Structure 1
């Protein structure tokens, strides 16, 4: 069978691939570039340049001489072998996800086995990000409640952790208002809806002291989420109140638990 020849990759996509692969924090080291560039059949024409420019120039040199991208894709295969990332799965998935956003524009996707699959060519940034979303994938692995996606889907698509949390926290109040027909907000809403003596929403039968304590604790949990995250995100600029991916995942998991409780035994 004749070897498949892959078309040359446009310079913008090629630059993006090089920047991801040779990223200062999560990408390949200089030593790894020295190993994989020749192994992939590329020429290390600019070894003293910064890592990503060194790799980009190697890619561009190959394409200019051969008018295809075969050995560039071979470089990705070699450097992203899953066996190289034992104990570093998060690093592997982060690099793979970012590469796939760019590769989608040339109709390729690197799968979990480190092998390329043909896919429909993406034509817009939104389409590329929708296909490859590391944050949303991690949420799905945690079985996050579907209500969260209803309220912050666009933020999840762009992996905007700050606004994802803000919108997800707002979804709690909106869900309670829909279930109770109340028009209140924040602590006043929670106290009215989850009252022990005259509740509009019950998460259990409230027949025992333990069940009443659970209702009170649930009420306080929601108030705590509002106080720590909703009020903070509403008033702090994004550059001041930064949220990383791990924190956002933990917050979303807590919000998901609240939604599951609200939907399980609400009245």
Structure 2
């Protein structure tokens, strides 16, 4: 996550929601709600412009959506690093979330969601003196959608190994049906950084930075439940003003 953004599911704020959409036809009715899941591969895991896994990443999630609009779920991905041990070239990200969503009318809807990001082995990173930060992170997301356009804002609630409490990520996404059952997907995102909580572990030189833009296509492979996707990610900058690379991402996702 230091990511959603997951290249297969578009914006990290939208990664779980999109998995639910992909599974609409195969959701399982359970206790006044629906259970859906997904598992897939992406050629790279890119999140908010930064590469979380430069090799093939295995990703998957499970969601329970109650008829009241409350949902709970999990999403995870393999990583090519361990935040607390530079000697390790692999790790795992676990995202657990609680959300509430409602349809206002046929065109408008909204969602609020809180997510905890837990990394393999947990732990903290340490700086000068007694300064340390946990790798576990918490944020809250608000989303407003009009037809095929979604606007999102997420706020980091506590200092973490990759950001400061009060950092805000703003994103917009758009999807459009194309001929032959292809879907056009596009998104853009940037961060407003809270430099007032900087220390020896986190430094900030940019008040606001464009992080990434994405454009791609996806298509469900007939009678398989598998969605194939291609995204091109245009990298922006991080909180230090350092440039992110551009990346091409291929994905396969099976929904159930």
The bucket for the TM-score relative to the shorter chain is under 0.3
Greater strand share, structure number: 2
Select the structure of larger CA radius of gyration. Answer: 1
Greater helix share, structure number: 1
Scaled by the length of structure 1, the TM-score of the pair is: 0.25
